[in-house]
Amino acid sequence: MRRDQFLKSLGAFATLAAAGGLPLTARAAANLKMLIPANPGGGWDLTGRALGRALQEAGASSVAFDNKGGAAGAIGLAQFVNSAKNDPNALMVMGAVMVGGIITGRPPVDLSQATPLARLTTEYNVFVLPAASPFKTMKDVVEQLKKDPGSVKWGGGSRGSTEHIAAAMIAQRVGVDPSKINYVAFRGGGEAVAAILGNNVTVGGSGYSEFSEYIATGKMRAIAVTSDKRIAGLDAPTLKELGIDVEIGNWRGVYGAPGITAAQRKELIDLVMKATKTKSWAESIDKNGWTPAYLTGNDFGNFVDREFASLRATMVKSGMI
């Protein structure tokens, strides 16, 4: 090829890439940016970084991470919506906790302003006691809750998180006014873990993946799970086994930026789904006890809409809103 023809071809390629017209695997913009709307150490952080490794194994050149915690993910969502417009390489991890936080906090931004890509996993919550706790079982916690609701300090994720909703539901099911529960919200899983290990809360709640290593080493005692059946490898009863009719799951997914084209959305969905077939993703699923729950595109968006309605109804019934 003559030099002038080569330069013209190169220029055309660059123009097409800048416009987002090339597939992710072909353009330099395969350097992805992952917004994690929580502090390091929690479930979204684990999910985002596991997905980042898998995306690189699936063909992305690189994945840069940005943690922005607070307000059940609403602070990170606001940053994502305002700074990532039309960016086909921007991703944000989210999940049921963000939906609950939006319902309770009513922030000025909403998930409808971003682009749903894929639901990835579901995970049930586990309630734990600090190793030094005078309580031994969930029955002990419930008995104290009935005597003095405010004396039981529940620690977990942001207001509206699945563990917050579960705590309110537990109170309601055992005859305690849910509005009287003493719930302490933390900005990330790392902060919640520190509070539990420091014996600064009565009972802690989160996804099993966040507590598993501390349960295994005896630093936390698992007393109940929110699933319909026991979690494999965890010696803890379901709430239903204990006569408390509560079951709630915590799903997680990934969104794209506002304003991306249908073609760019499809490219991202295809890449994310390719990532879920990698060895590193399979290892993360196994290590963290996650259950794959894949749902993509409009099907995922419709699922999120249904979750808003379902969680709102549950929170109203439990006296949270």
Range of lowest pLDDT (9-13, 71-75, 238-242) = 9-13
Q: Count structural domains, the chain.
A: 2
- Tell me, yes or no, whether 176 and 101 share the same domain: no
Across 56-85, average pLDDT: 95
| 281 shares a domain with 299 | yes
Which domain-ending residue is among 182, 207, 225?
225
Tell whether 204 and 279 lie within a shared domain.
no
User: Which of 47, 88, 86 is CA-nearest to residue 65?
Assistant: 47
Is residue 116 situated within a structural domain? yes
Q: Distance between CA atoms of 62 and 302, rounded to whole angstroms?
A: 30
Give how far the C-alpha of residue 180 lies from the chain's centroid of Cα atoms, to the nearest Å: 26
**With contact defined as beta carbons under 8 Å apart, do 293 and 95 qualify?**
no
pLDDT in tens, 155-188: 998 888 899 999 999 999 999 999 899 999 987 6
Residue 208: inside a domain, yes or no? yes
Give the residue-averaged pLDDT of 233-255.
Answer: 95
- Domain co-membership, 10 together with 107: yes
Q: Cα-atom radius of gyration of the chain, to the nearest Å?
A: 21
Q: Both 117 and 7 in a single domain? A: yes
The domain in which residue 196 lies consists of: 124-225
pLDDT tens per residue across span 197-236: 999 999 999 988 889 999 999 999 999 999 999 988 899 9
Domain termination site, one of 209, 225, 241: 225
Reported as a pLDDT band with limits 50, 70 and 90, residue 62 is very high
Q: What is the pLDDT of residues 71-94, one digit of tens each?
A: 889 999 999 999 999 999 999 999
Pairing state between β 115-130 and 220-225: antiparallel
Output the domain CATH number for residue 177: 3.40.190.10
Check whether residue 158 and residue 261 sit in a common domain. Answer: no
Global pTM value: 0.80
Q: What is the pLDDT of residue 23?
A: 52
Does position 57 have pLDDT exceeding 60, yes or no?
A: yes
